[in-house]
């Protein structure tokens, strides 16, 4: 009996010693951090805070100008630290020490190893300034040409705000915006970066004269040449005239499964005699995320007026189980109460084939307004999110005015 007790004590002691000798991951230091993504073309700085919320959950908050993006609970597994970004089906994974966190940012549906990064704690500037003064008057609106390595040019509009040497801004395109950039004016240069959980971006430009700049827009997979002229009149084509019903079509129709696999169409009882807003969207799409952040609270406040929203979700995999998981995360993040249907793969050409009434599918998102009689009244291509300032405000105003018309009310809620 005594021998058994001794053996039990010995085994417990051995287990404690083995556990205590097993390397345990370090814990994140709360507060400010600065990270850098590294690619062959450039380095992409980003900033984030590690916070402990009221429930005692440690989370990462990524910072871009005025934007604060909260991501999911940090996990510690063996000798690695993981920051999930479930909204974009991605995650950070790396080794954490007292001085740094080093690893990769990965997309789960990608075959690539990921983007290497390193991050260090402490309040640090996003970019290091090398000049005491800045000669670059970047603030204002710019007519921007983005030129790829084949020489093809894409017209866009740059919007920048400058306070002393701090610069924020974005780039508007016909399909959406580049979301939030933040950085500095440094001598004759401006450096801006952005990361909201999907893909990092970097913009570097130099002053030619007071109204001309040139530079590069970087992504982890390459760079695009940028040439811009300052212009208060710079503007994109009317987003309400890019996508339309083909001649011969007087209605927009579809039938796609909901997340339980049940077929849904505009002919269903739920939508009869109601105004309907249909959005072509995807859980992988940052501009679609911005649209969902707008639509979710709007629908709660306005659904009593006889208006419904249907999201036709085009996803990365043709797999309903996968789609259900992705959309469930999106719905929970934004508390969206309107209907989501699985419409197919995230491919504009395939989307256009599935929606033959449209002349083309040019962008995710695309928003279609349908009145109580089933008539399409407007189609909006792309989405100008909160980073675009007054353009976002104009979209919200136009959206509400159009809803007032299609529900047959002069004054909305």
**Same domain? 401 vs 260:** yes
Task: Tell me whether residue 14 is in a domain.
Answer: no
**Same domain? 83 vs 37:** yes
| pLDDT tens track for 236-291 | 999 999 999 999 998 999 999 999 999 999 999 999 999 999 999 999 999 999 99
**Same domain? 144 vs 114:** no
- 11, pLDDT greater than 90: no
- Domain C-terminal end among 230, 265, 289: 230
For residues 314 and 347, is the Cβ–Cβ distance under 8 A? yes
As a whole number, mean pLDDT of residues 357-381 equals 97
Residue pointed to by tokens 């002393």: 164
- 413, pLDDT greater than 60: no
Task: Give the per-residue pLDDT at 14.
Answer: 41
Task: Tell me whether residue 304 is in a domain.
Answer: yes
**Same domain? 206 vs 291:** no
For residues 368 and 357, is the Cβ–Cβ distance under 8 A? no
Predicted confidence band of residue 109 (pLDDT cuts 50, 70, 90): confident
- Domain C-terminal end among 88, 121, 154: 121
- Shortest CA distance to 109 belongs to which of 322, 329, 285, 334? 322
Residue 42 lies in domain? 31-121
Task: Tell me whether residue 324 is in a domain.
Answer: yes
Span of 31-35, 134-138, 219-223 with lowest mean pLDDT: 134-138
**Same domain? 313 vs 381:** yes
How many distinct structural domains can be found in the chain?
Answer: 3
**Same domain? 259 vs 382:** yes
**Same domain? 268 vs 397:** yes
CB atoms within 10 A of CB 184: 21
Task: Tell me whether residue 26 is in a domain.
Answer: no
| pLDDT tens track for 289-336 | 999 999 999 999 999 999 999 999 999 999 999 999 999 999 999 999
Question: Six-digit token pair at 226?
Answer: 């940028």
**Same domain? 97 vs 152:** no
**Same domain? 39 vs 100:** yes
**Same domain? 94 vs 163:** no
Residues 6+ apart with CB under 8 A from 118: 35, 36, 38, 100, 101, 102
Identify the CATH number of the domain in which residue 99 sits. 2.40.128.120
- 42, pLDDT greater than 60: yes
Task: Tell me whether residue 7 is in a domain.
Answer: no
For residues 213 and 138, is the Cβ–Cβ distance under 8 A? yes
DSSP state of 387: G
Strand 275-281 and strand 307-315: pairing? parallel
Continuous segment of H or E residues that includes residue 157: strand 153-163
**Same domain? 37 vs 153:** no
Cα distance from N-terminal residue to C-terminal residue, the chain: 80
- 174, pLDDT greater than 80: yes
Question: Six-digit token pair at 374?
Answer: 């089933």
Predicted confidence band of residue 40 (pLDDT cuts 50, 70, 90): confident
Task: Give the per-residue pLDDT at 132.
Answer: 74
Contacts by 202-206, CB closer than 8 A, 24 or more apart: 202/42, 202/43, 202/44, 203/171, 204/42, 205/138
Predicted confidence band of residue 23 (pLDDT cuts 50, 70, 90): low
DSSP state of 249: -
């Amino acid at each position: 009996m005594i021998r058994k007790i001794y053996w039990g004590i010995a085994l417990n002691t051995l287990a404690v010693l083995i556990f205590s000798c097993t390397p345990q991951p370090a814990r994140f230091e709360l507060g400010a951090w600065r990270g850098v993504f590294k690619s062959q073309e450039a380095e992409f700085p980003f900033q984030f805070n590690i916070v402990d919320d009221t429930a005692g959950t440690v989370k990462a908050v990524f910072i871009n100008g005025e934007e604060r993006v909260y991501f999911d609970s940090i996990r510690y597994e063996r000798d690695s630290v993981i920051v999930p970004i479930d909204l974009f089906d991605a995650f950070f994974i790396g080794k954490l020490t007292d001085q740094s966190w080093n690893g990769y940012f990965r997309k789960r549906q990608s075959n690539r190893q990921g983007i290497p990064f390193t991050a260090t704690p402490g309040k640090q500037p996003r970019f290091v300034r090398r000049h005491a003064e800045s000669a670059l008057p970047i603030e204002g609106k710019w007519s921007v040409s983005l030129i790829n390595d084949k020489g093809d040019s894409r017209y866009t509009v740059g919007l920048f705000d400058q306070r002393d040497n701090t610069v924020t801004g974005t780039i508007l395109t016909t399909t959406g915006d580049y979301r939030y950039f933040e950085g500095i004016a440094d001598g004759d240069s401006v450096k801006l970066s952005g990361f909201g959980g999907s893909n990092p971006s970097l913009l570097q430009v130099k002053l030619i004269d007071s109204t001309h700049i040139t530079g590069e827009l970087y992504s982890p997979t390459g760079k695009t040449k940028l040439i811009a002229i300052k212009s208060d009149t710079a503007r994109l084509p009317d987003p309400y005239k890019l996508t339309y019903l083909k001649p011969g079509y007087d209605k927009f129709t579809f039938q796609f499964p909901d997340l339980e696999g049940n077929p849904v169409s505009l002919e269903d009882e739920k939508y009869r005699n109601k105004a309907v807003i249909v959005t072509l969207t995807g859980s992988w799409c940052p501009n679609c995320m911005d649209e969902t952040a707008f639509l979710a609270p709007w629908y709660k406040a306005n659904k009593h007026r006889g208006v419904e929203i249907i999201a036709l979700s085009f996803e990365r995999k043709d797999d309903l189980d996968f789609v259900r998981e992705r959309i469930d995360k999106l719905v929970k993040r934004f508390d969206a109460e309107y209907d989501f249907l699985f419409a197919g793969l995230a491919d504009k050409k395939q989307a256009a084939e599935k929606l033959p009434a449209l002349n083309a599918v040019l962008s995710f998102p695309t928003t279609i307004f349908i009145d109580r009689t089933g008539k399409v009244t407007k189609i909006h291509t792309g989405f100008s999110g909160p980073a675009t300032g007054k353009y976002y405000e104009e979209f919200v105003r136009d959206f509400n005015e159009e809803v007032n018309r299609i529900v047959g009310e002069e004054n909305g809620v």
